[in-house]
Amino acid sequence: MFRRERDMREPVRAWMEAEGYIVHDESHLWSGGIPDLLGCQQIHLGYAHYTYRFVAVELKLRHPTRALDQACAYSPFVHAVYAAFPEMVAYRYLEQYRTRIEGDGTGILAVTPERSECIHPACLHHECACFPLWKRFEREWRKRDREAWDSV
Protein backbone atom coordinates (compact mmCIF):
# COMPACT_ATOMS: atom_id res chain seq x y z
CA MET A 1 0.00 0.00 0.00
CA PHE A 2 2.50 2.67 1.16
CA ARG A 3 6.17 2.37 0.31
CA ARG A 4 7.36 5.39 2.31
CA GLU A 5 6.08 7.46 5.21
CA ARG A 6 5.88 10.54 3.04
CA ASP A 7 3.31 8.73 0.87
CA MET A 8 0.91 9.00 3.84
CA ARG A 9 1.26 12.80 4.11
CA GLU A 10 -1.52 13.86 1.76
CA PRO A 11 -4.36 11.77 3.25
CA VAL A 12 -3.33 12.86 6.76
CA ARG A 13 -2.97 16.49 5.65
CA ALA A 14 -6.48 16.32 4.15
CA TRP A 15 -7.86 14.98 7.46
CA MET A 16 -6.14 17.76 9.41
CA GLU A 17 -7.38 20.45 7.04
CA ALA A 18 -10.92 19.04 7.24
CA GLU A 19 -10.63 19.41 11.03
CA GLY A 20 -9.75 23.10 10.53
CA TYR A 21 -5.97 23.04 10.90
CA ILE A 22 -3.36 24.89 8.89
CA VAL A 23 -0.71 22.22 8.27
CA HIS A 24 3.08 22.49 8.05
CA ASP A 25 5.51 19.71 7.15
CA GLU A 26 8.28 18.82 9.59
CA SER A 27 8.29 21.90 11.83
CA HIS A 28 10.81 22.15 14.65
CA LEU A 29 9.52 22.16 18.22
CA TRP A 30 11.32 23.52 21.25
CA SER A 31 12.19 19.96 22.20
CA GLY A 32 14.34 19.65 19.12
CA GLY A 33 11.86 17.11 17.81
CA ILE A 34 10.44 17.38 14.34
CA PRO A 35 6.94 15.92 13.88
CA ASP A 36 6.07 14.88 10.34
CA LEU A 37 3.05 17.20 10.33
CA LEU A 38 2.20 20.10 12.62
CA GLY A 39 -1.22 21.72 12.58
CA CYS A 40 -2.57 24.94 14.05
CA GLN A 41 -6.26 25.62 14.57
CA GLN A 42 -7.60 29.06 15.45
CA ILE A 43 -10.43 28.95 18.00
CA HIS A 44 -12.73 31.97 18.32
CA LEU A 45 -13.45 32.86 21.97
CA GLY A 46 -15.58 35.92 21.38
CA TYR A 47 -15.30 39.36 19.85
CA ALA A 48 -11.70 39.73 18.62
CA HIS A 49 -10.43 37.06 21.01
CA TYR A 50 -8.81 33.89 19.75
CA THR A 51 -6.76 31.04 21.05
CA TYR A 52 -4.82 28.44 19.13
CA ARG A 53 -4.64 24.67 19.28
CA PHE A 54 -1.58 22.80 18.01
CA VAL A 55 -1.49 19.16 16.92
CA ALA A 56 1.54 17.06 15.97
CA VAL A 57 1.32 13.93 13.83
CA GLU A 58 4.04 11.29 13.53
CA LEU A 59 3.81 9.08 10.42
CA LYS A 60 5.10 5.51 10.63
CA LEU A 61 4.74 2.48 8.37
CA ARG A 62 5.66 0.18 11.27
CA HIS A 63 7.65 0.42 14.54
CA PRO A 64 4.77 1.45 16.82
CA THR A 65 6.92 1.89 19.92
CA ARG A 66 9.17 4.36 18.10
CA ALA A 67 6.10 6.28 16.88
CA LEU A 68 4.64 6.40 20.40
CA ASP A 69 7.99 7.48 21.88
CA GLN A 70 8.25 10.32 19.37
CA ALA A 71 4.64 11.36 19.94
CA CYS A 72 5.25 11.50 23.71
CA ALA A 73 8.30 13.70 23.15
CA TYR A 74 6.10 16.25 21.34
CA SER A 75 3.27 16.30 23.90
CA PRO A 76 4.68 19.06 26.18
CA PHE A 77 4.80 21.41 23.20
CA VAL A 78 1.43 20.79 21.51
CA HIS A 79 -2.15 20.30 22.66
CA ALA A 80 -2.58 16.85 21.07
CA VAL A 81 -0.45 14.22 19.36
CA TYR A 82 -1.33 11.51 16.87
CA ALA A 83 0.53 8.55 15.44
CA ALA A 84 -0.57 7.66 11.91
CA PHE A 85 -0.19 4.15 10.51
CA PRO A 86 -1.42 2.36 7.39
CA GLU A 87 -4.94 1.13 8.01
CA MET A 88 -3.94 -2.55 7.89
CA VAL A 89 -1.66 -2.20 10.92
CA ALA A 90 -3.29 0.73 12.77
CA TYR A 91 -6.10 -1.41 14.22
CA ARG A 92 -3.66 -4.15 15.21
CA TYR A 93 -1.34 -1.67 16.93
CA LEU A 94 -4.28 -0.03 18.72
CA GLU A 95 -5.28 -3.36 20.25
CA GLN A 96 -1.72 -4.47 20.94
CA TYR A 97 -0.62 -1.17 22.60
CA ARG A 98 -3.98 0.11 23.91
CA THR A 99 -2.80 0.51 27.53
CA ARG A 100 0.17 2.63 26.53
CA ILE A 101 -1.81 4.64 23.95
CA GLU A 102 -4.52 5.49 26.46
CA GLY A 103 -1.97 6.22 29.19
CA ASP A 104 -0.01 8.60 26.98
CA GLY A 105 -3.10 10.20 25.47
CA THR A 106 -1.89 9.60 21.92
CA GLY A 107 -4.44 9.54 19.12
CA ILE A 108 -4.24 6.96 16.34
CA LEU A 109 -4.98 7.59 12.67
CA ALA A 110 -5.64 4.80 10.17
CA VAL A 111 -4.44 5.89 6.73
CA THR A 112 -5.36 4.63 3.27
CA PRO A 113 -4.26 6.24 0.00
CA GLU A 114 -7.67 7.92 -0.24
CA ARG A 115 -8.28 9.10 3.34
CA SER A 116 -7.34 9.12 7.00
CA GLU A 117 -9.61 8.12 9.85
CA CYS A 118 -9.22 8.79 13.55
CA ILE A 119 -9.68 5.39 15.24
CA HIS A 120 -8.62 6.60 18.69
CA PRO A 121 -8.93 10.27 19.68
CA ALA A 122 -6.04 12.07 21.32
CA CYS A 123 -6.38 13.51 24.80
CA LEU A 124 -6.28 17.28 24.70
CA HIS A 125 -3.49 18.81 26.79
CA HIS A 126 -4.71 22.24 27.86
CA GLU A 127 -1.30 23.49 28.95
CA CYS A 128 1.61 23.44 26.57
CA ALA A 129 4.60 25.60 25.70
CA CYS A 130 3.32 26.60 22.27
CA PHE A 131 3.89 30.37 22.04
CA PRO A 132 6.78 30.15 19.53
CA LEU A 133 4.61 27.95 17.34
CA TRP A 134 1.84 30.55 17.36
CA LYS A 135 4.18 33.09 15.76
CA ARG A 136 4.77 30.78 12.79
CA PHE A 137 1.07 30.55 12.04
CA GLU A 138 0.03 34.13 12.84
CA ARG A 139 0.84 35.45 9.36
CA GLU A 140 -1.22 32.70 7.71
CA TRP A 141 -4.24 33.39 9.95
CA ARG A 142 -4.09 37.10 9.14
CA LYS A 143 -3.92 36.32 5.42
CA ARG A 144 -6.89 33.94 5.73
CA ASP A 145 -8.88 36.58 7.67
CA ARG A 146 -8.10 39.25 5.06
CA GLU A 147 -9.25 36.94 2.27
CA ALA A 148 -12.48 36.25 4.15
CA TRP A 149 -13.17 39.99 4.60
CA ASP A 150 -12.38 40.67 0.94
CA SER A 151 -14.90 38.08 -0.18
CA VAL A 152 -17.77 39.79 1.73
HEC-encoded secondary structure of 70-112: HHHHHHHHCCEEEEEEEHHHHHHHHHHCHHHHHHHCCEEEEEC
Residues in a beta bridge with 25? 37
Residue 89's pLDDT band, with cuts at 50, 70 and 90, is very high
Q: Give the phi and the psi of residue 126 in degrees, each rounded to 5.
A: -75, -25
pLDDT tens readout for residues 57-67: 999 998 999 99
Read off the CATH number of the domain in which 129 is found. 3.40.1350
Q: What is the pLDDT of residue 1?
A: 76
- Residue-wise DSSP of 6-60: GGGHHHHHHHHHHTT-EEEES---TTS---SEEEEEEEEEETTEEEEEEEEEEE-
Q: What is the mean pLDDT of residues 81-89?
A: 95
Containing domain of residue 138, as a range? 5-150
pLDDT tens readout for residues 5-19: 889 999 999 999 999
Q: N- to C-terminal Cα distance for the chain?
A: 44
What's the total number of domains in the chain? 1
Highest mean pLDDT range out of 52-56, 57-61, 142-146? 57-61
